[in-house]
Amino acid sequence: LLAEVTAQVTVLESAFTWRESDRSAAKRATHVLAELAKNEEVVNVIVEGGAVPALVKHLQAPPCEDGDRSPKPFEHEVEKGSAFALGLLAVKPEHQQLIVDSGALSHLVNLLRRHKDSSISRAVISVIRRAADALTNLAHENSSIKSRVRMEGGIPPLVELLEFTDTKVQRAAAGALRTLAFKNDENKNQIVECNALPTLILMLRSEDAAIHYEAVGVIGNLVHSSPNIKKEVLAAGALQPVIGLLNSCCSESQREAALLLGQFAATDSDCKVHIVQRGAVRPLIEMLHSPDVQLKEMSTFALGRLAQDTHNQAGIAHSGGLVPLLKLLDSKNGSLQHNAAFALYGLADNEDNVSDFIRVGGVQRLQDGEFIVQATKDCVAKTLKRLEEKIHGRVLNHLLYLMRVAEKPVQRRVALALAYLCSPDDQRTIFIDNNGLELLLGLLGSTSTKQQLDGAVALYKLSNKAMTLSPMDAAPPSPTPQVSL
């Protein structure tokens, strides 16, 4: 294998002319190296064989004599093959810097402008696309190279290529910008200054899933941790097309759109309301039923942010979001479970949702859940506290009504929840006057061990609540440290 690599490198080093035989040999050598580089296990051998400097050399056309207007054999083809091979080698992070240090960036940026000096042909389109892809791979998770691409002037031509006639070039340019914008504020600012937003927003409406996926990814990276850019994106009209992507046939675009809406929702209260008014809630709730864990994670993230508004809280529950969010508390994915818990915490803040929470068994799910991270446990505890604080007035009246007229399973769920959540002052009204005690005792005779246990624990909890301090016991606090069990 090393001998094969060395042979191709030798060809590249000696065939840097416009002679047809040299161009043909160089094209074949770049093709062989690219085919080998598709196997990631072989990449190290290719680099050790000296392929990087040889390939970088062929990112530019050979010198030609002044005034030579004769047809160029394999014009753009060798450069395309070199860019493709280098992009494959850059997949391994340890080779990125070597490629950059060999001078690849300036040549790749020049290739992005190749269509300005030549008529647009299939070869020109291919070389531009391969150059953009190579820049993407070189800059992947490498902050210094991202900045180097900007300093080499790579961002303006990439923004221009978003409007190129070929959709594959558009997609490659957007992919490069997406990578360059990730966690790099200077790059983000330059992309916006180059007036990329109007074109990116048009791309969001593309029927080509590959196009709108890359566009929503660029916008997502631009707005991340950048409040000012977020406002510019919204002002440029991104909101409705992003909401439209929630119904995309591409699950990756749906996921990116949901993430972006969650980021938009953190902007201000008006934006939260506008997202719901423009139709985002139902498709976000539909995503909660997807088998794709990441899609559910982003949907719960967005719903959690939207649920920080009072009217949105009622709207999400009314649209059917409560039950699937409660089911996601059983997820074995810690991030998804926490996002669901946070969304439920928001929904519990609205009195109109409390009865529904209890009616569908939400209190029992919150109490019985096995939560993976401490933050989720804390969130669930705060949700139960929120529910407890709302068990009075019209909420309590509605729950008492359900205990009288609802089906028996619902009556029992209400009685169980109230045993934990009600104020001691309301115990007689609930459990004596409205037969709540009878419902709890009925659970003890159930054929379900779980229901028997629930009933017994609820009765025990209720009896503890009833044990209030007598006036003689209510002494002033002692300065001596107290230990509570």
More confident residue, 49 or 70: 49
Provide the 10 A C-beta neighbour count for residue 67.
5
Q: What is the mean pLDDT of the chain?
A: 92
State the pLDDT at residue 378.
Answer: 97
- Element holding 434 (H helix, E strand): none
- Is a pLDDT exceeding 70 seen at residue 470? no
Give SS3 for 19.
Answer: coil
482 Cβ contact partners less than 8 Å away, ≥ 6 residues apart: none
Percent of the chain past pLDDT 90, that is, above it, reads 86
Sorted by where each begins, the domain ranges of the chain are: 1-62+74-152, 391-465
State the pLDDT at residue 475.
Answer: 40
State the pLDDT at residue 304.
Answer: 97
Residue 264 to residue 242: CA distance in whole angstroms = 10
- Is a pLDDT exceeding 60 seen at residue 477? no
- Is a pLDDT exceeding 80 seen at residue 52? yes
Q: Categorize the per-residue pLDDT at 66 as very low, low, confident or very high, splitting at 50, 70 and 90.
A: low
Residue 433 to residue 419: CA distance in whole angstroms = 14
Helical H segments across 91-250, by residue range: 93-101, 104-112, 114-117, 122-139, 143-151, 155-161, 167-181, 185-193, 197-204, 209-223, 227-235, 239-244
State the pLDDT at residue 347.
Answer: 97
State the pLDDT at residue 467.
Answer: 54
Q: If you average pLDDT over residues 443-463, what whole number do you get? A: 87
73 Cβ contact partners less than 8 Å away, ≥ 6 residues apart: 18, 19, 20, 23, 24
Long-range Cβ pairs for the range 221-226 (8 Å, 24+): 221/178, 221/181, 221/182, 221/183, 221/188, 222/181, 222/188, 222/191, 222/192, 223/260, 223/263, 223/264, 224/182, 224/183, 224/263, 225/183, 226/185, 226/188
The tokens for 407 are 């089906």
State the pLDDT at residue 241.
Answer: 98
Q: Categorize the per-residue pLDDT at 64 as very low, low, confident or very high, splitting at 50, 70 and 90.
A: confident
Closest CA relative to residue 286, chosen from 239, 318, 321: 321
Dihedral pair phi/psi, residue 260, rounded to 5°: -65, -40
Closest CA relative to residue 123, chosen from 154, 79, 162, 161: 79
Residue 215 to residue 3: CA distance in whole angstroms = 43
Q: Categorize the per-residue pLDDT at 450 as very low, low, confident or very high, splitting at 50, 70 and 90.
A: confident
State the pLDDT at residue 385.
Answer: 97
- Over residues 240-272, the pLDDT tens digits come to 999 999 999 999 999 999 999 999 998 777 899
CB 462 within 8 Å of CB 422:
no
Q: If you average pLDDT over residues 91-108, what whole number do you get? A: 96
State the pLDDT at residue 50.
Answer: 96
Residue 351 to residue 361: CA distance in whole angstroms = 16
DSSP letters for 266-312: TT-HHHHHHHHHTT-HHHHHHHTT-S-HHHHHHHHHHHHHHTTSHHH
pTM of the model: 0.87
Q: If you average pLDDT over residues 20-29, what whole number do you get? A: 96
State the pLDDT at residue 295.
Answer: 97
State the pLDDT at residue 71.
Answer: 80
CA distances in angstroms from 284 to 65, 203, 205, 239, listed in the order given = 62, 22, 19, 15
The tokens for 306 are 């939207």
- Over residues 397-438, the pLDDT tens digits come to 999 999 999 999 999 999 999 999 999 999 999 999 999 999
- Please tell me the least confidently modeled range out of 202-206, 259-263, 475-479: 475-479
- Is a pLDDT exceeding 60 seen at residue 468? no
Start-to-end CA span in the chain (Å): 71
Long-range Cβ pairs for the range 121-124 (8 Å, 24+): 121/76, 123/75, 123/76, 123/77, 123/80, 124/76
CATH dotted code for 1-62+74-152: 1.25.10.10
Residue 94 to residue 97: CA distance in whole angstroms = 7
Q: If you average pLDDT over residues 170-196, what whole number do you get? A: 98
Angle at 253 between CA 216 and CA 89, to 5 degrees: 80
Please classify residue 450 by burial: count the beta carbons closer than 10 Å to its beta carbon, then call 0-12 exposed, 13-18 middle and 19+ buried. exposed
State the pLDDT at residue 70.
Answer: 75
> Tokens 């890359």 label which residue?
214
- Please tell me the least confidently modeled range out of 218-227, 419-428, 458-467: 458-467
- Is a pLDDT exceeding 60 seen at residue 235? yes
Q: If you average pLDDT over residues 198-209, what whole number do you get? A: 96
The tokens for 425 are 């002052």
- Please tell me the least confidently modeled range out of 186-200, 411-425, 462-476: 462-476
